[in-house]
Structure formats: structure tokens, C-alpha cells
């Protein structure tokens, strides 16, 4: 099997599994307990929090552990808008993950007002268009750092300069980007940042939301005082420690080389194929390719039979039959969106596998054309 769907989820690093196992076995006490075993658990919690906060240039008390990207995005949007005193207007991008877009729609149902920011044909938001969309009552701007279907990076430094100057909190969904590019929340002027562990060799069901001190936010859940009461509930310590361990496993170089090799191979074999977001800066591990005449819903089962795992769009939207909202926002029509396939590489891939995968993809594409 050649796994080319790291953007959907990644295999867990062996060192992460070992760490989680050791923490589950040896540090089972509740980190809030007032005895030595509890203090030992608390120390791991603090060390993990410190490693994760350092990784984005944040303070330790600006990290709120969550169950992953979906929860982080919902907490950011609902939490900031419900806390906002002077505004009820929200701006989100048209190519955001559904955990942002659908949360925004739900907020609209609650009476908040919503603007969806368009993107250009490369999937990039235009900073000047954002400036024009900001209103006196704008309470939050939520734009992703990078897109999970195309890998396209947004001009977040320019966007952050605009929102900070207007004193509007900026939330970035970094679920696709974190672990693949370096992120400094202070330099980028990001106020809230969503991260999930399972895209970078960490466990599923764990992530964090960075919330800059000074940003007003209210919780979605109520209960204990964990995570400064912003996310009550006994901490998932094995997953948190595994997440921190994944950081040190060195993900980036392998994935870029593999993606570039696959992209070059496929480009050579399908000269009329289009790389979505080709003219924009992109994450090093994602390739979104539209191959004219080759519907992905026919190609994917053939690839699967050949042992190649790839996807047509975000895994969370896997069952949907509507065209990808990301690709249509970029101007692709229904047919083109349906002829698009996403390959995403990672630490388990060997360069030689990319040639093998390209051969199988060409074979499967020809097969579906002639049958
Ligand atoms: N945002 C983006 C950009 C994603 O790719 C994903 C995962 N598909 C999520 C949010 C949701 O993250 P999680 O699976 O950790 O809930």
C-alpha cells in the first residue's frame, strides 16, 4: 500500500505511541490531584504545554487543549462572538474547512451577521478585499493559514497587519499547516490559532487553540477549572504528551521531496492536468490535481485496488456528492471539481514510491478512459 492521504490523517510516529503508552501506564493520576502522583502528571502536562506553546511563539497560558481542529474552530468562533461587546459581524473565508464555515452559518442562525470572503483563482484571499469587508461592528475575522485541499497558503502576515490595526481579533485555522511550516503567532499578528495533532504524526482527538492573552472569549462547555475554565474536563494527558512528542519527530523535509517528485512525474505524464493553486505559495506536502476527462470518483476505486490511498477532497466531506466548495470558490466548474484528486505525502513515503504511484495513477486513468 502507498499511503498518499496524510492531509486526511497521518500514521502515528512510533515514538508517539511509546510516549502515550508510558504516560497511560505510569502517569495515570489526575493532574489536578494534590499528591505526588498527581504532581508528576501535572509536570508532564506543563512540559507538553511549554513545548507546544514554544512551537508557535506563544506563552504557556495562551494554549487551550481541545479535542482537535473541529473543536478549536468552534470554540474560536462561538467563544469570541458570544464574548464580543461591540460587534456582531463575522468574516470567514470561502475556502475554509466546514468546521469554520458551518459554525459561521450556525452563528448566523443565532442572529450574528456573516460575510464570506471570496478568493482568487489560486485560492488566495486578497488583503484589500478583506479591508473592504471590515465594518465598524466586525467582531472576528477567521481565515485559514493554509488550505487542506490545495495546500495554498494565505497572505496571513498582510491580513494580520490589517486586523491588528483595526483592533479586530484574527483567528487562523492552522490545522493543515501546523507541523509543515513554521508559525510565529506574534510575527503574524494572529490572535487565535487552531491546531490538531493527527495531521503531523500525533494522535487523533487532541489539539489546541491558541488564544492571545487580552482576547475576550467565553467557553462552550462548563464544569471544572481546567484550561483556565475555557475547556473544562479532565485532561487527556497521554494524547497531550503524545502530541508534544510528535513535534520533535521531524516531519517536514521528507514530505516536501515526495510531493515534488510526484507532482513532477504526474505533470510529465498528464500535460493538460492542472495543479490547483499552482501560482500561489503552497504547503510542502499537498498536491491538488485536476486531470481532464478523469472523474475522481472513478479513479479513486481503481487506485484503491492498486493499493494507492488518495482522496477527492477533505476527508470530513468524503460522503458528500456536491462539488468541493474550495475548488468552486477558485472558479473550477462542477466537472473540473469532479476531476480533481488530492495527494498528500508524509514521513512514511519513500521517493521511489512516488514513481510507482505515478505509474499506477497513469494506468488507472487510462483504464477508466477506455472502459
Ligand atoms: N481544519 C482543517 C483545515 C482540517 O483539515 C481539519 C481536518 N480535516 C479540521 C479543521 C478538523 O480537524 P479535526 O479532525 O482534528 O477535528
* Predicted local confidence at residue 368, as pLDDT: 74
Residues annotated as catalytic are 316
Residue 319 has pLDDT above 80, yes or no: no
The pLDDT of 264-290, averaged and rounded, is: 96
Residue 160 has pLDDT above 90, yes or no: yes
Secondary structure of the chain as H, E, C letters = CEECECCCCCCCCHHHHHHHHHHHHHCCCCCCCCCHHHHHHHHHHHHHHHHHHHCCCCCHHHEEEECCHHHHHHHHHHHHHHHCCCCCEEEEECCCCHHHHHHHHHHHHCCCEEEEECCCCCCCCCHHHHHHHCCCCEEEEECCCECCCCCEECCHHHHHHHHHHCCCCEEEECCCCECCECCCHHHHCCCEEEEEHHHCCCCCCCEEEEECCCCCCCCCCCCCCHHHHCCCCCCCHHHHHHHHHHHCCCCHHHHHHHHHHHHHHHHHHCCCCEECCCCCCECCCEEEEECCCCCHHHHHHHHHHCCEECECCCHHHCCCCCCCHHHHHCCCCHHHHHCEEEEECCCCCCHHHHHHHHHHHHHHHHHHHHC
Residue 141 has pLDDT above 70, yes or no: yes
d(CA 23, CA 241): 7
Asked if residue 209 lies in contact with residue 196, where contact means CB atoms within 8 angstroms, the answer is no
Comparing 88-102, 207-221, 320-334, the range with the smallest average pLDDT is 320-334
Q: Whose CA is nearest to atom 10 of ligand 1?
A: 69
* Predicted local confidence at residue 119, as pLDDT: 98
In the chain the domains, ranked by start, together with CATH numbers, are 2-9+251-369 (3.90.1150.10), 14-249 (3.40.640.10)
* Predicted local confidence at residue 273, as pLDDT: 96
The pLDDT of 232-238, averaged and rounded, is: 98
Residue 314 has pLDDT above 90, yes or no: no
* Predicted local confidence at residue 39, as pLDDT: 98
Residue 45 has pLDDT above 80, yes or no: yes
d(CA 71, CA 48): 20
> What is the tens place of the pLDDT at every residue in 245-267?
999 897 666 678 999 999 999 99
C-alpha cell at 174: 492552522
Residue 367 has pLDDT above 90, yes or no: no
Quote the distance between the C-alpha of residue 36 and its chain's center: 37
Atom of ligand 1 nearest to the CA of 198: 15
Of 213, 330, 343, the C-alpha closest to 286 is 343
pLDDT interval class at 15 (50, 70, 90): very high
CA–centroid distance, residue 6 to ligand 1 (Å): 12
The pLDDT of 264-292, averaged and rounded, is: 96
Length of the chain: 371
Q: Which of 12, 92, 146, 176 best tests ligand 1's pocket when mutated (most atoms within 8 Å of CB)?
A: 176
The pocket around ligand 1, CB under 6 angstroms, is made up of: 68-70, 73, 97, 99, 144, 148, 173, 175-176, 196, 198, 207, 314-316
Amino acid at each position: 500500500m502507498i499511503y498518499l492521504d496524510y492531509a486526511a490523517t497521518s500514521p502515528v510516529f512510533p515514538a508517539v505511541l511509546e510516549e502515550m503508552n508510558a504516560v497511560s501506564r505510569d502517569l495515570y493520576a489526575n493532574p489536578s490531584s494534590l499528591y505526588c502522583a498527581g504532581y508528576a502528571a501535572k509536570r508532564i502536562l506543563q512540559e507538553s504545554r511549554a513545548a507546544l506553546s514554544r512551537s508557535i511563539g506563544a506563552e504557556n497560558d495562551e494554549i487551550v487543549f481541545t479535542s482537535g481542529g473541529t473543536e478549536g474552530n468552534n470554540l474560536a468562533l462561538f467563544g469570541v462572538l458570544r464574548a464580543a461587546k461591540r460587534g456582531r459581524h463575522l468574516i470567514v473565508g470561502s475556502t475554509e474547512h466546514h468546521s469554520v464555515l458551518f459554525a459561521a452559518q450556525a452563528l448566523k442562525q443565532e442572529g450574528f451577521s456573516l460575510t464570506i470572503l471570496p478568493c482568487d483563482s489560486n485560492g488566495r484571499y486578497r488583503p484589500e478585499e478583506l479591508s473592504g469587508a471590515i465594518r465598524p461592528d466586525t467582531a472576528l475575522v477567521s481565515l485559514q493559514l493554509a488550505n487542506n485541499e490545495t495546500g495554498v497558503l494565505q497572505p496571513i502576515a498582510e491580513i494580520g497587519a490589517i486586523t491588528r490595526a483595526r483592533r479586530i481579533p484574527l483567528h487562523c485555522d492552522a490545522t493543515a499547516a501546523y507541523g509543515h511550516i513554521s508559525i510565529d503567532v506574534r510575527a503574524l499578528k494572529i490572535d487565535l490559532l487552531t491546531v490538531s495533532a493527527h495531521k503531523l504524526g500525533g494522535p487523533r482527538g487532541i489539539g489546541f487553540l491558541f488564544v492571545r492573552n487580552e482576547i475576550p472569549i467565553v467557553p462552550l462547555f462548563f464544569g471544572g477549572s481546567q484550561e483556565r475554565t475555557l475547556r473544562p474536563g479532565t485532561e487527556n494527558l497521554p494524547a497531550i504528551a503524545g502530541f508534544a512528542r510528535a513535534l520533535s519527530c521531524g516531519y517536514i523535509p521528507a514530505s516536501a521531496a515526495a510531493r515534488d517528485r510526484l507532482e513532477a512525474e504526474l505533470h510529465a505524464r498528464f500535460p493538460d492536468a492542472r495543479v490547483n493553486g499552482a501560482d500561489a505559495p503552497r504547503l510542502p506536502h499537498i498536491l491538488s490535481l485536476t486531470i481532464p476527462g478523469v472523474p475522481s470518483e472513478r479513479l479513486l476505486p481503481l487506485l484503491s485496488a492498486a493499493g494507492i490511498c488518495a482522496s477527492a477532497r477533505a476527508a470530513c466531506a468524503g460522503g458528500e456528492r456536491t462539488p468541493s466548495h474550495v475548488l468552486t470558490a477558485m472558479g473550477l466548474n462542477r466537472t473540473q471539481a469532479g476531476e480533481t484528486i488530492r495527494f498528500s505525502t508524509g514521513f512514511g513515503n519513500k521517493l521511489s514510491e512516488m514513481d510507482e504511484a505515478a505509474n499506477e495513477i497513469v494506468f488507472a486513468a487510462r483504464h477508466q478512459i477506455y472502459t
